Amino acid sequence: QKSWSDDAAVNALWTKLCANKGSDVSTVQQSFVQHVQSTLARTYFNIDNFAGYQAAAHSLITHWDETQQHHTKLDVKRVYYLSLEFLMGRSLGNAVLNMGLQGTFSEALKQLGFSLEDVIDEERDAALGNGGLGRLAACFMDSLATLDYPAWGYGLRYTYGIFQQKILNGYQVEVPDYWLSFGNPWEVERLDVSYSVRFYGQVAKGKDASGKSSYSWHGGEEVEAVAYDVPIPGFGTKSTINIRLWSSKPLRSCYFDLHSFNEGNYQKSVELQQRAEQITSVLYPNDNTMAGKELRLKQQYFFVSATLQDIIRRFKKSKRAWSEFPNQVAIQLNDTHPTLGIPELMRILVDLEGLEWDESWDIVTKVYSFTNHTVLPEAMEKWPVSMISNLLPRHMQIIYDINLFFLQKVEALFPGDRARLARMSIIEESPYQQVRMAFLAVIGSHTVNGVAAIHSNLIKSTIFSDFVEFYGASKFQNKTNGITPRRWLHQANPKLSALISEKLGGQGWLTQLDKLEGLIKFADDENFQKAWMDVKKQNKIRLAELIRDTCKVIINPEAMYDVQVKRIHEYKRQFMNILSVVHRYLDLKRMSPAEIKETVPRVVIFGGKAAPGYYIAKMVIKLINSVAEVVFIPDYNISNAEVIIPASDISEHISTAGTEASGTSNMKFVLNGGLIIGTMDGANIEIAEEIGQDKMFIFGCLAEQVDDARHNQKYRKTSMNPDLEGVLDALKAGRFGDFENFAPLVDTLTIGGDYYLISHDFASCTYAAYRDKKQWARNSIISAAKMGKFSSDRSIRELDLPSHDPDARQSRPAVWPLPVD
Ligand code: F58
């Protein structure tokens, strides 16, 4: 590889200076102090924990290696993970663990008067995501780095992440998450990597030199996309990959409208700048519903335009022919949000690079694959044709052409089947013309995957059934989700991690999670059971402290902790959970003291955000907060999840069958030794398969029964579950405050037709098993031991992305700075 200098002496000096400085305590301290002095311009007289955090982060960055140069040298095919969301949480603790520096770091800081834990606590969560989909992207990046994949994540650098949730008088109040207010030591601003992105304007049709029609898109407005790189260190490897996040800025040439300024109109002079910066200003806070706002469409195009320009610039440096593009580039679309990348790549190839349509289409479909995360109709992305035509006029023409050529093939296979053409068209005609993004993603990709077995089967039999008939079933695959055991066990539950490593004689299980099976032989060992449950107890105390500090409620760590933490959505049925709490409460009220003594004390804990415009979900929060003796932890996020999940005895994954595509917290809870209560939905089914149905509290309607149950409810007189009726009577009698607060919510069960089958599934388990502590411990150990399948390392390997160089783990030179690609 050619280095930037041809002078051997210069190179030798650089190599010497950049050589891995070692990672002993004094080197870490030197680097830390240097950052205090020169990066932060402070002295040890005025340094607090926050400055300690910043200096620690900066000194870790100097330990990060040059992975990109290595991949460039190897000339490997790259995989690009395109996601509008990355829910990373904090980075310091994770970086220290992944780089194997935790002993060194805590000792180095301790000697300097800091505690690593306190310093870690200073970091704000990077919360650039809504829920499961965004967190999956974060887990995948950890696995890609750990497995030495030549991978890049691409996303948006929102100025405001997911809102912070406050609870006032029982109601959710949203507060903006201005997470960058004190800077972000983990990002590297790359002012040298920027692209311009166009919106609106016109398309001119002309002829090229050979007389062929050509199209050019011009006019409208342009903004600049500037890159910010966030390094992701793998666990136990020198591989450090990047997430490149784009931030929108005004084009350098029109930072400011001098004309207006000179006329004394200062406000107008900065308008352009504000308009440009608005694009990456805020993350849309909807989970599983689509927000049809033009600004969201702008975000999507801004994202794919900048990303493709960057990918293509990297490709062009290798001076290869376009036909080789699919050998160098694989792009995974995280849901339909980056689907405009398909017509955008067509536009680049056909309009700008002068390739033929068919050749371009061949390249496009070899490059893209698409992951679907939902079958909920309200979450399926559709954009009005009128909106796309206005914002992206050339893309709308290209989408029409893609559709036409596709439907011609359908016609050839199913002559005269007009209903089929209408069903499969990318354009939905009624009530007005809209682009069905999922169909565009399917047609433009070589493979499509669902995120758990049941979900992958459902998409084949429902939303994509016509496409299965057309393409054949092999295009539609299953890649069951996974989670990274590094963050969700090793980091979140250090005591359990240490116990497991001690028992298994090493940390090999952290990268080969199947090795956890080695714990099974200790499941009946009383000492091990005790040690295992002791860790749980300590984690419960840690959570009790968090609840004391945030909710001013004291809970008893001897009680069973029953947890439901996730976004609030009707299909996830937090409503059913709180109704069954009320049911048990009413039961207790009827019991004699002797009977009460026989029951298991239980602390019910909820957490989760409702989309700000989701009226019914917000009412569920109010109801939960109106039922006394239930804890609602405000502002559920990655960092408090790391405390909540390891402390759970039992957790609720109780969606109406067929609605939760996978769920990933179910995996986190079981891996941490919690048992789960769940419906036969999403990945719960595969968890039951792995750990055994007897180790899970399973209830409720099966997916294949849902249609009949809904039908019967609607057209036959089915009476409401009597226990549920008792609960509703208590609500109506005002036992939990003014019934008016909840009337529309209760209506969803009656006049709303109980679409999510709460009455049908209304279940009340008592978990007497918790009394039998030995049995509980045994089930907990065996369940955790059988979670090997649910590592995101397995998901990544199954995704069949371009793979890595087996020597990468040893041979990489250790050089900073990061990508000089
Ligand atoms: C989630 N989807 C699924 N979407 O609901 C969950 O079952 C699955 O485990 C997870 O994906 C990972 O596959 C989800 O989180 C969103 O939040 C979208 C954000 C953007 C707007 C539309 C919903």
What is residue 628's DSSP assignment?
Answer: T
User: In 106-239, which ranges are E strands?
Assistant: 126-128, 151-156, 164-168, 171-175, 188-199, 202-207, 213-218, 221-233
Residue 659 CA to ligand 1 centre (angstroms): 11
Residue 339 CA to ligand 1 centre (angstroms): 16
What is residue 472's DSSP assignment?
Answer: -
HEC assignment per residue over 62-84: CCCCCHHHHHHHHCCCEEEEECC
Q: Is pLDDT at 2 greater than 90 in this prediction?
A: no
At 812, the pLDDT band (50, 70, 90 cuts) reads very low
Considering only 96-105, 378-387, 610-619, 703-712, which range has the smallest mean pLDDT? Answer: 96-105
Q: What is the DSSP string of 380-418?
A: S-EEEHHHHHHH-HHHHHHHHHHHHHHHHHHHHHSTT-H
Handedness of CA 507, 509, 512, 515 (dihedral sign): positive
Smallest Cα–Cα separation from 657: which of 748, 759, 774, 756?
A: 756
Ligand 1 site, residue 663, Cβ cutoff 6 A: yes
Query: Residue of the nearest CA to atom 17 in ligand 1?
Result: 287
Residue 133 CA to ligand 1 centre (angstroms): 4
Task: Classify 766 as helix, strand or coil.
Answer: coil
Average pLDDT over residues 200-209: 95
pLDDT digits (tens, 9 = 90+) for 477-534: 999 999 999 999 999 999 999 999 999 999 999 999 999 999 999 999 999 999 999 9
Do 404 and 450 form a contact (C-beta atoms < 8 A)?
Answer: no
User: How would you classify residue 569: left for phi > 0, otherwise alpha for psi between -120 and 50, otherwise beta?
Assistant: beta
Query: Residue of the nearest CA to atom 6 in ligand 1?
Result: 663
What is residue 47's DSSP assignment?
Answer: -
Atom of ligand 1 nearest to the CA of 664: 9
Q: Is pLDDT at 809 greater than 60 in this prediction?
A: no
Residue of 35, 63, 314, 373 with catalytic role: 373
Q: Tell me, what's the ipTM?
A: 0.98
Residues in contact with 753: Cβ distance below 8 Å, sequence separation at least 6, in sequence order: 710, 713, 714
C-alpha torsion 310→315→321→322, nearest 10: -40
Do 21 and 64 form a contact (C-beta atoms < 8 A)?
Answer: no
Smallest Cα–Cα separation from 92: which of 508, 641, 500, 639?
A: 639
Q: Is pLDDT at 805 greater than 70 in this prediction?
A: no
At 814, the pLDDT band (50, 70, 90 cuts) reads very low
C-alpha torsion 673→675→678→684, nearest 10: 40
Is 207 one of the catalytic residues?
no
Q: Is 270 exposed, middle or buried (0-12, 13-18, 19+ CB in 10 A)?
A: middle
Which of 287, 296, 339 has most ligand 1 atoms within 8 Å of CB, for mutation?
A: 287
pTM reported for the whole predicted model: 0.96
HEC assignment per residue over 278-314: HCCCECCCCCCCCCCCHHHHHHHHHHHHHHHHHHHHH
Ligand 1 site, residue 481, Cβ cutoff 6 A: yes
Which of 81, 136, 293, 374 has most ligand 1 atoms within 8 Å of CB, for mutation?
A: 374
Residue 663 CA to ligand 1 centre (angstroms): 9
Tell me what pLDDT residue 64 has. Answer: 65
Q: Is 445 exposed, middle or buried (0-12, 13-18, 19+ CB in 10 A)?
A: buried
Ligand 1 site, residue 95, Cβ cutoff 6 A: no
Do 151 and 803 form a contact (C-beta atoms < 8 A)?
Answer: no
Is 572 one of the catalytic residues?
yes
User: How would you classify residue 200: left for phi > 0, otherwise alpha for psi between -120 and 50, otherwise beta?
Assistant: left
pLDDT digits (tens, 9 = 90+) for 748-787: 999 989 999 999 999 766 556 678 999 999 999 999 999 9
Residue of 298, 455, 566, 695 with catalytic role: 566
HEC assignment per residue over 573-598: CHHHHHHHHHHHHHHHHHCCHHHHHH
User: How would you classify residue 721: left for phi > 0, otherwise alpha for psi between -120 and 50, otherwise beta?
Assistant: beta
Residue 162 CA to ligand 1 centre (angstroms): 14
List, in sequence order, every residue forming a beta bridge with 175; answer none if it has no partner: 164
Q: In angstroms, rounded to a whole number, what is the distance separating the alpha carbons of residues 746 and 756? A: 13
Residues in contact with 24: Cβ distance below 8 Å, sequence separation at least 6, in sequence order: 104
For the chain, percent of residues with pLDDT exceeding 70? 94
pLDDT digits (tens, 9 = 90+) for 568-578: 999 999 999 99
Query: Residue of the nearest CA to atom 2 in ligand 1?
Result: 133
More confident residue, 597 or 645: 645
Residue 182's CB: how many other CB atoms inside 10 A? 13
Tell me what pLDDT residue 561 has. Answer: 97
Which of 128, 133, 655 has most ligand 1 atoms within 8 Å of CB, for mutation?
A: 133
Tokens 């090493």 identify what position? 506
Tell me what pLDDT residue 376 has. Answer: 94
Q: What is the DSSP string of 96-117?
A: HHHTT-HHHHHHHHHHTT--HH
Structure tokens at 87: 């829910």
Considering only 53-62, 187-196, 479-488, which range has the smallest mean pLDDT? Answer: 53-62
Is 566 one of the catalytic residues?
yes
Is 664 one of the catalytic residues?
yes
For the chain, percent of residues with pLDDT exceeding 90? 82
Query: Residue of the nearest CA to atom 12 in ligand 1?
Result: 133
Q: Is pLDDT at 429 greater than 90 in this prediction?
A: yes
Query: Residue of the nearest CA to atom 14 in ligand 1?
Result: 133
Tell me what pLDDT residue 263 has. Answer: 78
Do 406 and 357 form a contact (C-beta atoms < 8 A)?
Answer: no
How long is the chain?
821
Is 337 one of the catalytic residues?
no
Do 654 and 666 form a contact (C-beta atoms < 8 A)?
Answer: no
Do 298 and 403 form a contact (C-beta atoms < 8 A)?
Answer: no
Tell me what pLDDT residue 1 has. Answer: 41
Pairing type for strands 151-156 and 240-250 reads parallel
Average pLDDT over residues 380-393: 97
pLDDT digits (tens, 9 = 90+) for 728-754: 999 999 999 999 999 999 999 999 899
CA angle 81, 86, 88 (to 5 degrees): 125
Average pLDDT over residues 53-78: 83
Do 551 and 607 form a contact (C-beta atoms < 8 A)?
Answer: no
Average pLDDT over residues 63-80: 80
